Structure 1
């Protein structure tokens, strides 16, 4: 008599999926620029005469990757064991144990234990947003709201912080909680975004050759 096969144990579910931080305003602006560029470029390719289609093609090859790099590409991914920063031309992977601090000033930055600094392009600083958040906080204080004197990430009154500052608060909380975890140790890794640099450089070379031989 054969025994029934034992069910395969399910893999453990991660604590949470990666938290993703991106600038929606930058993405919207990038999509608009890409749409305008595609409209003008395709029109030049179809209706252009002589060298115009080639110039349009080279211009698109040069400009489109740069627009994507500065608007659509930047993102910050935070998981239980690492922070992955996708900037315009590089992707940096930082285990929480390798991070010494996160700083907000005129830009948002992360520092490693050896003093290296990386800017978080996906979390821009908005001085106007900080001003509006300060005004909301002042109104709460004026209304005698007792919770307005202390705002914590995840609280009901976290909207008294600018979105970029709130995102940095979230990252600091994860960093402080996970910096000593065994699975959050390791060396920082950085990789150039050749998928952006390659096409843009090729477009720049072709464009320079066309203009020089014109």
Structure 2
């Protein structure tokens, strides 16, 4: 069983980030395929080296980020690191201009929970409108808004959910332990190889 399967009770990721990453990879693959098929001289090799360099970075920043949450801990998968945080080690989860978790005296960003100031303002307007039209929250307008139009921005709601999980399970026996960090060498290594190959090919003219 992989670590991601162990923490896959709930997951938090950015659908827009994934869609953008897939689109960019598809465009890059098409351009490189065309260069390999029709290019001359060093062009196919430069294109392949550029793909080897760029593809892992695109995956790292768009498709890879996710937060997995279970009853015992959260697994934060950022572009170049995976951080395992038992709930008892979580000090707080918060969202300002970015989403982050404080644990073990350190701060880690949650790349898969991007903060959108526009979404936050839109949710605030919806909440204000619902309150103004029915300050007691009993009218049909407020009742309709609650299930259909969230009064919290997605990032703020995800942070609230993670904070609630941390508070609920912090005292569980299985939720104790130390924060551990693992570098994503499966991303770093191919990008480094591609970067070196690209630099050598460009330097060779």
Per the normalisation by structure 1, the TM-score is: 0.86
Matches within 5 A, 1:73-112: 73-112=64-103
User: Which of 125, 129, 141 is the matching residue for 2:115?
Assistant: 125
Q: Mark the CA change 1:157 to 1:36 in structure 2 (over 3 Å): closer, same or farther.
A: closer
Matches within 5 A, 1:32-51: 32-51=23-42
Which 5+ residue runs of structure 1 have no aligned equivalent?
1-15, 149-154
Is 2:183 aligned against 1:192? yes
Is 2:138 aligned against 1:138? no
Is 2:31 aligned against 1:72? no
When the two structures are aligned, how many residues end up with a matched partner?
A: 192
Match of 2:143 in 1: none
Matched position secondary structure for 2:101: strand
1:104 Cα deviation after fit: 1.1
Is 2:152 aligned against 1:161? yes
Higher helix share: 2
| Structure 2 Cα separation of the partners of residues 157 and 37 of structure 1 | 38
1:156 Cα deviation after fit: 4.6
Runs of 4+ in structure 1 deviating by more than 3 angstroms, as ranges, are 155-158
Matched position secondary structure for 1:207: helix
Which structure's CA Rg is the greater one?
1
